[in-house]
Amino acid sequence: MTVLIRLGLGLGLGFVVLAPIVVGFVYEKSFDLNTLLNVFVLSMIWMGFCGVFSSLLNYMLPRKRAVAGEVVDDDSDNTGTSSIKKHRISTSGAGTETTVNNNNSDISLGNISGDDNHSGGGGSEVELQIMALGDGNPPDIDEDLHSRQLAVYGRETMRRLFASNVLVSGLQGLGAEIAKNLILAGVKSVTLHDEGTVELWDMSSNFIFSENDVGKNRALASVQKLQELNNAVVISTLTTKLTTEHLSDFQAVVFTDTSFEKAIEFNDYCHSHQPPIAFIKAEVRGLFGSVFCDFGPEFTVFDVDGEEPHTGIIASVSNDNPALVSCVDDERLEFQDGDLVVFSEVHGMTELNDGKPRKIKNARPYSFTLEEDTTNFGTYEKGGIVTQVKQPKVLNFKPLREALSDPGDFLLSDFSKFDRPPLLHLAFQALDRFISELKRFPVAGSEEDAQKLISICSSINESMGDGKLEDINPKLLRHFAFGARAVLNPMAAMFGGIVGQEVVKACSGKFHPLFQFFYFDSVESLPAEAPDSSDFKPLNSRYDAQISVFGSKLQKKLEDAVVFMVGSGALGCEFLKNVALMGVSCGNQGKLTITDDDVIEKSNLSRQFLFRDWNIGQAKSTVAASAAQTINPRLHVEALQNRVGPETENVFDDAFWENLSVVINALDNVNARLYVDQRCLYFQKPLLESGTLGAKCNTQMVIPHLTENYGASRDPPEKQAPMCTVHSFPHNIDHCLTWARSEFEGLLEKTPAEVNAFLSNPTEYASAMRNAGDAQARDNLERVLECLERERCETFQDCITWARLRFEDYFVNRVKQLIFTFPEDAATSTGAPFWSAPKRFPRPLQFSAADPGHLYFVMAASILRAETFGIPVPDWAKHPKKLVEAVDKVIVPEFQPQTNVKIETDEKATSLSTASIDDAAVINELIAKIEQSQKSLPPGFRMKPIQFEKDDDTNYHMDLIAGLANMRARNYSIPEVDKLKAKFIAGRIIPAIATSTAMATGLVCLELYKVLDGGHKLEDYRNTFANLALPLFSMAEPVPPKVVKHRDMRWTVWDRWIIKDNPTLRELLQWLREKGLNAYSISCGSCLLYNSMFPRHRERMEKKVVDLAQEVAKVELPAYRRHIDVVVACEDDEDNDIDIPQISIYFR
């Protein structure tokens, strides 16, 4: 399209200029040979002008991701063209294809795959497979937008996605969810196929449709909102009957609402196509779902789990057959028997450094055996890295025709239902036959239809011969029949995540595909008390599909629920969409409160799907709540921007918590989760918890009195590298990046902030430093003095000088000092080599302006240094030649290592600063120097501290951090990383993708039915851990809380004892004695109100407990507080300690 626009504008403008002149020549009376020559010359000028102008337009017009092919514009409008804001929609034929192209790119409607080769021909099978994955000319990746997804997939997988064309057939709830996830992932194109029209029934599961869309074609009604998710994806529609000829243009096709007969036809075509087309059939029927995958006769998985290759640092290798390899005990090895590994950097036994993969066995936490004879190899001396080699895996898929009768092993999700998948395999076939015979779905609540489906299932089972099931579970099949027509939103969200991920696998070869059938049910979500058949009747409402499964009574409970949702990021957006479609908090009594103190950033848009690019900078909760009300205008939602914590308990007060039905966490940090968990524990409210990490997700149900709370079990803290390792002895790039981030913050944020603290109030600052009088205060003052005196910058040349000398200090002088203090042959106090694994002996760098890494470090450092001093950055600073000239002016002094320098080697040390007996004197001297240097500063001088911002690629923050880390890596011969990988590590980016988020929220909302219904038992609830990369689904009952028993009483962490009427201390002690408990200590917060060992405490007996809390513990009691909490330590009559619940004393 861009080509045509450029050409049209060039020709048009040329015609406007040339036409009057040509006409003048034509009407000239003396129209001779000279006239013809003049016309010819002008024509040549015209053509040249057109070419130049259209070339200029190449740079003037907006550019987006390139897509191969060429636009075919057809203004015919046989099916009606809707005018949609921001998008151009053209329809051609009798409602056959519609393309939305918001790319200003070249797109082929006839052959949407562009120059991908689908016809087979020459080339090896591997080449064909890669072509099938859509590996064409790699388009640019918008790293700001896709940074979290890149952290999961990597560039190569993203490039393959960007070249992949996908068909999604069936745009009910499941199809919409799959399409959403694929568009967010950034495939090249998605074609939406649906011949049906929008019904009110669809409103229970499809977030795209509004009630105004009823009667419109589903595919056409979906285009606008789906296109808004990602303008770089081409979205087309097919609204007529699908044929096999349509399928050849795609790398993957997904069917969500098709018969087995048609599915077999389409699958046979895809399976035999060259290269094969990935085929997925997925269905959601009420609380039951299924997925079938066929990616062809030979599908290559390039990376089966998506994890980084495991590595180990070698400590020794024996000269044996087989050889024993031992590694340092710095970290446990993650190798498994049969893994292939390669060796590098081995000294002595250099034969291992040949790069040849070697198989290992007898894998242990810190050693393994090598299947190789090393008897005649050189003797191992030192060093060496062993790295896992990830091997491609070839899978042989069976077509659906064969797999139906020979399904192989089913992928299990819940081991308490190990016999369920074979039964559901029959049930879905029976439903297909039911629909084929009666031309409709079973009616919800119809026993006759249920019996008909059971009969068909029994018939199929009888025909299976040796594979016949002993029990077809009529009760389960009855539930299956009742809800067969309904597509429930939580099920669509869950399966939309699973299927979306399978499409990504099919298009990229990244992660292990689902092989080949997966069945799932959540019948436990049904009401604890079975509804009457009349309760399933439709009410002509948007919730009719949901009512057909759960009945109208549960629907009313959903609508009247009072919900608190904490967070409106990726999880929060999905949750809001889900609850809006379910009708939660949409009744007169219902209300949903959502809070998030964050604002929208560009990187959010690839998975937080309620946000658009025009929302960047706006409050997340406000935008998300507004978008959710667009999905369901009946949603009663209040959006707040408060962080949930002790500081906002005046906002989220007792009355707020006591009125809640349920709390849904959509948080991204453990501390906030723990606080909300404690609040839910205190007020005895259900908490639905979930989280994601790349392709992994987990859900945890916290149900009052039934389950343990979130904080009852925690993951161990992440292992932190010792400070001495990070600062002097790094042995991996993570150490280098940790050091680089620390230096960045010290130089550009903390030190300028210290300078400003001094300049704002010199007297107070000096007094604070003198009072501290420690090594930290001394270090702070030394940095302030450096900034204001020795390293103060007044011009940009000063900043370049500072940056160049920093390079010398970091990567030359410090290394020279280190290897002077600890030479290569240095030994420890025990005589062992000092530079033994995991330590790596460093080498100083030699600065060279010809080295791009060196020069770019100086450029980034000088620009940021100038920013802290408020110095304008000249244009030439980013011009390499002129920058080199400026760097060459810097005089670098000679460095001589010192003999009395102490370098920390103790791994337990927590600070590099060492205290000295003369710290106080040094501090006074430094303060005097700083006060003197202040006099030379211009009036009102302040520095500008720079806070690290990882997601702005124009601010040079990551450029400097990557430069610091990579130069340090060169010192220690550690492999360097690019800026993107540096951003992941230094920016502590949590990998995130839309698919795992969608699955997690779908699973949680299946539990939400149970919570709001009430009456469910522990065994009805499910906690889940899933890894879509493997794929792995592990569901289990939650763990019950620990029970404490005393006399005839029982309590758990969920119990809170309440005493009203504002008791005195004596009355509280008596109340406990009546329970057989002798209190010997009562505390409020961190203060002791009573202890039986202290005689003076007996004087407090007649005082109100609340008065003691105010007097002793200095507790403030704002108007919204009605009680205080005390912790009581008790013994029974046998002097055994009894752990009792927290006691709340109400005084109002």
Quick: pLDDT tens for 278-321: 999 999 999 999 999 999 999 999 999 999 999 999 999 999 99
Range of lowest pLDDT (383-397, 664-678, 919-933) = 919-933
Distances (CA, A) of 1084 to 194, 476, 1093, 1143: 64, 53, 17, 10
- Residue 86: which pLDDT band, with cuts at 50, 70 and 90? very low
- Residue 140: which pLDDT band, with cuts at 50, 70 and 90? confident
Q: What is the largest CA-CA distance in the chain?
A: 130
Half-sphere exposure of 115 (CA within 13 A, CB side): 10
What is the C-alpha to C-alpha distance for residues 890 and 800, in angstroms, rounded to an integer? Answer: 8
Cis peptide before 139 (omega within 30 of 0): no
Q: Which two tokens stand for residue 208?
A: 């795209």
Average pLDDT over residues 921-948: 93
Q: Which two tokens stand for residue 295?
A: 């990616």
Range of lowest pLDDT (109-113, 491-495, 714-718) = 109-113
What is the C-alpha to C-alpha distance for residues 248 and 119, in angstroms, rounded to an integer? Answer: 9
Q: Which residues lie closer than 8 Å to 78 by C-beta, 6 or more apart?
A: 91, 93, 94, 95
pLDDT in tens, 1018-1063: 999 999 999 999 999 999 999 999 999 999 999 999 999 999 999 9
pLDDT at residue 25 tops 50: no
pLDDT at residue 860 tops 60: yes
- pLDDT for 1086 equals 87
Q: Rank 126-135, 171-180, 776-785 by mean pLDDT and report only the highest.
A: 171-180
What is the C-alpha to C-alpha distance for residues 743 and 783, in angstroms, rounded to an integer? Answer: 12
1090 - beta bridge partners? 1082
Amino acid at 772: A
Residue 303 CA to its chain's centroid (Å): 19
3-state DSSP call for residue 891?
Answer: coil
Please check whether residue 277 is in contact with residue 251, taking contact to mean a CB–CB distance below 8 angstroms.
yes
- pLDDT for 913 equals 58
Residue 490 parent element (H or E): helix 489-508
pLDDT at residue 106 tops 90: no
Q: Which two tokens stand for residue 1125?
A: 């909490």
Phi, psi of 873 (to 5 degrees): -95, 115
Average pLDDT over residues 376-391: 94
pLDDT at residue 27 tops 90: no
Cα dihedral 953, 957, 958, 962, rounded to 10, equals 150
Please check whether residue 512 is in contact with residue 304, taking contact to mean a CB–CB distance below 8 angstroms.
yes
3-state DSSP call for residue 794?
Answer: coil
Q: Which residue has the tokens 């990383």?
A: 977
- Residue 31: which pLDDT band, with cuts at 50, 70 and 90? very low
Residue 621, class by beta-carbon neighbours within 10 Å (0-12 exposed, 13-18 middle, 19+ buried)? buried
111: nearest Cα among 226, 236, 224: 236
What is the C-alpha to C-alpha distance for residues 1019 and 523, in angstroms, rounded to an integer? Answer: 12
What is the C-alpha to C-alpha distance for residues 168 and 246, in angstroms, rounded to an integer? Answer: 12
What is the C-alpha to C-alpha distance for residues 584 and 522, in angstroms, rounded to an integer? Answer: 19
What angle in degrees, to the nearest 10, is found between the helix axes of 751-760 and 775-785?
90
**% the chain with pLDDT above 90:** 79
172: nearest Cα among 264, 307, 321, 286: 286
Please check whether residue 777 is in contact with residue 767, taking contact to mean a CB–CB distance below 8 angstroms.
no
Range of lowest pLDDT (734-738, 916-920, 982-986, 1085-1089) = 916-920
What is the C-alpha to C-alpha distance for residues 222 and 412, in angstroms, rounded to an integer? Answer: 33
Please check whether residue 1143 is in contact with residue 1059, taking contact to mean a CB–CB distance below 8 angstroms.
yes
- Residue 132: which pLDDT band, with cuts at 50, 70 and 90? very low
Q: Which residue has the tokens 């015609």?
A: 15
Catalytic: 724? yes
Q: Pick the residue with more confidence: 739 or 108?
A: 739
- pLDDT for 764 equals 94
- pLDDT for 40 equals 46
Average pLDDT over residues 1118-1142: 90
What is the C-alpha to C-alpha distance for residues 874 and 862, in angstroms, rounded to an integer? Answer: 11
Phi, psi of 136 (to 5 degrees): -100, -150
Average pLDDT over residues 411-437: 96
- Residue 465: which pLDDT band, with cuts at 50, 70 and 90? confident
What is the C-alpha to C-alpha distance for residues 233 and 168, in angstroms, rounded to an integer? Answer: 14
DSSP state, residue 748: I
What is the C-alpha to C-alpha distance for residues 906 and 723, in angstroms, rounded to an integer? Answer: 9
Range of lowest pLDDT (19-23, 498-502, 1024-1028) = 19-23
Please check whether residue 676 is in contact with residue 687, taking contact to mean a CB–CB distance below 8 angstroms.
yes
Q: Which residue has the tokens 């190789």?
A: 372
Q: Look at the alpha carbons of 783, 786, 792, 797 in this order and tell me if their dihedral is positive or negative.
A: negative
192: nearest Cα among 219, 225, 161: 219
Q: Which residue has the tokens 């460095």?
A: 895
pLDDT in tens, 523-541: 999 999 999 888 999 999 9
- pLDDT for 1122 equals 83
Q: Look at the alpha carbons of 868, 874, 879, 885 in this order and tell me if their dihedral is positive or negative.
A: negative
What angle in degrees, to the nearest 10, is found between the helix axes of 796-808 and 880-888?
70
- pLDDT for 914 equals 58
pLDDT in tens, 578-637: 999 999 999 999 999 999 999 999 999 999 999 999 999 999 999 999 999 999 999 999
- pLDDT for 713 equals 86
- Residue 953: which pLDDT band, with cuts at 50, 70 and 90? confident
Range of lowest pLDDT (29-33, 386-390, 548-552) = 29-33
- pLDDT for 915 equals 53
What is the C-alpha to C-alpha distance for residues 41 and 22, in angstroms, rounded to an integer? Answer: 11
Distances (CA, A) of 486 to 533, 598, 628, 635, 1011: 16, 37, 22, 22, 21
- pLDDT for 402 equals 97
Tell me what the pLDDT averaged over the chain comes to: 88
Distances (CA, A) of 294 to 1, 276, 581, 758, 861: 36, 9, 32, 68, 53
DSSP state, residue 233: S
Distances (CA, A) of 389 to 299, 311, 361, 394, 981: 20, 10, 14, 16, 20
DSSP sequence for 801-859? HHHHHHHHIIIIIHHHHHHHHS-TT-B-TTSSBTT-TT----------TT-HHHHHHHH
**% the chain with pLDDT above 70:** 87
- pLDDT for 111 equals 32
Average pLDDT over residues 895-923: 79
Q: Rank 324-338, 440-454, 1086-1100 by mean pLDDT and report only the highest.
A: 440-454
- pLDDT for 921 equals 85
pLDDT at residue 28 tops 70: no
- Residue 775: which pLDDT band, with cuts at 50, 70 and 90? confident
Rounded CA Rg of the chain: 35
Range of lowest pLDDT (128-137, 203-212, 241-250, 371-380) = 128-137
pLDDT at residue 134 tops 50: no
Residue 874, class by beta-carbon neighbours within 10 Å (0-12 exposed, 13-18 middle, 19+ buried)? middle
- pLDDT for 1042 equals 93
HEC sequence for 1026-1090: EECCCCEEEEECCCCCCCEEECCEEECCCCEEEECCCCEHHHHHHHHHCCCCEEEEEEECCEEEE
What is the C-alpha to C-alpha distance for residues 969 and 961, in angstroms, rounded to an integer? Answer: 12
Please check whether residue 219 is in contact with residue 171, taking contact to mean a CB–CB distance below 8 angstroms.
yes
DSSP state, residue 244: H
What is the C-alpha to C-alpha distance for residues 174 and 499, in angstroms, rounded to an integer? Answer: 9
- pLDDT for 12 equals 45
pLDDT in tens, 429-460: 999 999 999 999 999 999 999 999 999 999 99
- pLDDT for 141 equals 87
- Residue 1123: which pLDDT band, with cuts at 50, 70 and 90? confident
Residue 646, class by beta-carbon neighbours within 10 Å (0-12 exposed, 13-18 middle, 19+ buried)? exposed
- pLDDT for 1118 equals 84
* Single pTM value for the model: 0.85
| Burial call 762-782: b when 16+ CB within 10 Å, e when fewer | eeebbeebeeeebbebbbbbb
- pLDDT for 46 equals 46
Catalytic residue among 327, 724, 793, 1084: 724
Q: Which residue has the tokens 């690290």?
A: 948
- pLDDT for 904 equals 87
- What does DSSP say about strands 591-595 and 299-301: parallel, antiparallel, or unpaired? unpaired
Average pLDDT over residues 665-673: 94
